[in-house]
């Protein structure tokens, strides 16, 4: 995958957790759950990074360089379709984190 997709995904998770911390950061139990979730997310991204460093590709794929569509079992996929499929859930999580923070701000003041 292109680096920008991974960076965007990581940014979305950062926004999500920032919104939840802003909304629930005063409660010990919520902070505990958030720390565990942030640790899990760090393991998710860290594991991929470690596995890639164990056997790095000699050359980036044509898709990662933006020269060709991603070849899948069901046929080629353009970059926009790949990005939409990979970033929909992280983007929705980011919006959810922002919404929770805004709701808390409006309700509590």
Instruction: Write out the chain's pLDDT in tens, 109 residues.
Output: 888 998 999 999 999 999 999 999 888 999 999 999 999 999 988 998 899 889 887 888 888 888 888 888 999 999 999 999 999 999 999 999 999 999 999 998 7
Cβ(42)–Cβ(103) below 8 Å = no
Give the global pTM.
Answer: 0.84
Crossing angle of helices 3-24 and 79-108, rounded to 10°? 10
Crossing angle of helices 28-54 and 3-24, rounded to 10°? 170
Give, as one character, the DSSP assignment of residue 77: E
């Amino acid at each position: 995958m292109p680096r920008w997709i991974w960076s965007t995904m990581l940014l979305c998770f950062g926004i999500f957790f920032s919104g939840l911390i802003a909304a629930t950061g005063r409660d010990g139990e919520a902070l505990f759950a958030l720390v565990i979730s942030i640790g899990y997310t760090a393991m998710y991204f860290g594991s991929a990074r470690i596995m890639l460093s164990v056997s790095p590709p000699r050359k980036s794929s044509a898709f990662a360089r933006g020269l060709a569509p991603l070849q899948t079992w069901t046929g080629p996929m353009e970059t926009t379709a790949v990005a939409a499929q990979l970033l929909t859930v992280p983007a929705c999580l980011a919006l959810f984190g922002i919404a929770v923070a805004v709701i808390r701000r409006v309700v509590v003041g």
